[in-house]
Amino acid sequence: MSEVIWGLATSHVPSIGAAMDRGMTAEPVWAPLFEGYRPAREWLAERTPDVAILVYNDHANGVDLDIVPTFAIGTAERYQVADEGFGRRPVPDVVGDPDFSFHLLHQLMDDGFDLTVFSELDVDHGFTVPLSVWTPEPRDAWPCPVVPIMVNVIRYPQPTAARCYALGQALGRAIAGYGGARTVGILGTGGMSHQLAGQRAGFINPSFDHMFLEAIEKDPEKLAALSREDYIRQAGSEGIELIMWLVMRGAMNAEVRKVHSAYHVPASNTAAGLALFENTTTRPAR
């Protein structure tokens, strides 16, 4: 038996990683964002799990845009940090956990989720920035092995929020049935509201984000009931990344305790949010 001990949701804006890599986090423009992360980082530093699952999207850096799986899992021993055009970030490669990956793959397949399998995968800012939000100074290695779960949020039609929540619930069942790890941390990444291109470039919607931050804790079904078009309309064409927070939330129990949350506008073109939860009851969200 394994159990999810915490769930961390965070935006993955590339410049958050760049600010850290370049030692700019204390500069006035960045300090409020990183101050907001501090209580979560301190709490997490005391609770390193045996393994983590990171639900994220690739941005055509690890996987060509011609082939975008709806849901995928990495099964590699190691994942290299992708070069996104500015050189690789100076952070460690990611150590995987193939045994846990294959367990999750089998269980999810049997539960009706036919995941694409990546036995090799470079991970981009969608993956490494959340790791940096969790662990600002990894030195030679991230705190534990990490299994990537990838979601298509970049090509229409993206999976529905309801399907992402259901994937999370199936993931929760699969985690519970795994004997090889005791404790699991799960990260849901991306969001919050932002739109990077088109007529509404720069669009940010704080009232939607605050509703989402409240509901992801107390009423995830309400968020699961929104259509992909609702997300795009209300959170922006890239704000639909928020559906990945629902995978994390679905893998947790019906009731969770919010450890900490933070919201900062803007980080680059994005409303940057963070929410950290721990499981309070043993009753799963399913």
Under a CB-based contact definition with an 8 Å cutoff, are residues 13 and 270 in contact?
yes
Q: For this structure, is 106 an active site residue?
A: no
Whether the link from the prior residue into 266 is cis, omega within 30° of 0, is yes
Neighbour order of strands in the sheet with 51-56 = 116-118, 71-74, 146-151, 51-56, 183-189, 3-10, 270-279, 256-267
Q: Applying CB under 6 A, does 238 fall inside the site for ligand DHB?
A: yes
Q: Applying CB under 6 A, does 237 fall inside the site for ligand DHB?
A: no
Q: Applying CB under 6 A, does 25 fall inside the site for ligand DHB?
A: no
Alpha carbon distance 122, 120 (integer Å) = 7
Taking the complex as a whole, how short is the minimal distance between the CB of residue 208 and ligand DHB, in angstroms? 16
| Contact region with ligand DHB (CB under 6 A), list: 11-19, 61-69, 141-149, 274-282 | 11-19
Q: Which residue is nearest to ligand DHB (CB)?
A: 268
Taking the complex as a whole, how short is the minimal distance between the CB of residue 234 and ligand DHB, in angstroms? 16
Nearer to ligand DHB, 15 or 25 (CB): 15
Alpha carbon distance 216, 7 (integer Å) = 11
Alpha carbon distance 31, 29 (integer Å) = 6
Identified catalytic residue from 12, 59, 103, 125: 125
Q: Per-residue string for binding with ligand DHB, 43-72, x by CB under 6 A?
A: ----------------x-------------
From the list 126, 159, 154, the residue with the least C-alpha distance to 68 is 154
Strand partners, 8: 187, 276
Under a CB-based contact definition with an 8 Å cutoff, are residues 175 and 59 in contact?
no
Nearer to ligand DHB, 145 or 236 (CB): 236
Contact positions with ligand DHB (CB under 6 A) in 62-121: none
Q: For this structure, is 260 an active site residue?
A: no
Taking the complex as a whole, how short is the minimal distance between the CB of residue 90 and ligand DHB, in angstroms? 19
Taking the complex as a whole, how short is the minimal distance between the CB of residue 190 and ligand DHB, in angstroms? 6
Q: Applying CB under 6 A, does 14 fall inside the site for ligand DHB?
A: yes
Find the angle CA(144)-CA(175)-CA(155) to the nearest 5 degrees.
85
User: Looking at the annotation, which residues are catalytic?
Assistant: 125, 194
- Which residues sit at the interface with ligand DHB, rule CB under 6 A? 12-15, 59, 194, 196, 238, 268-270
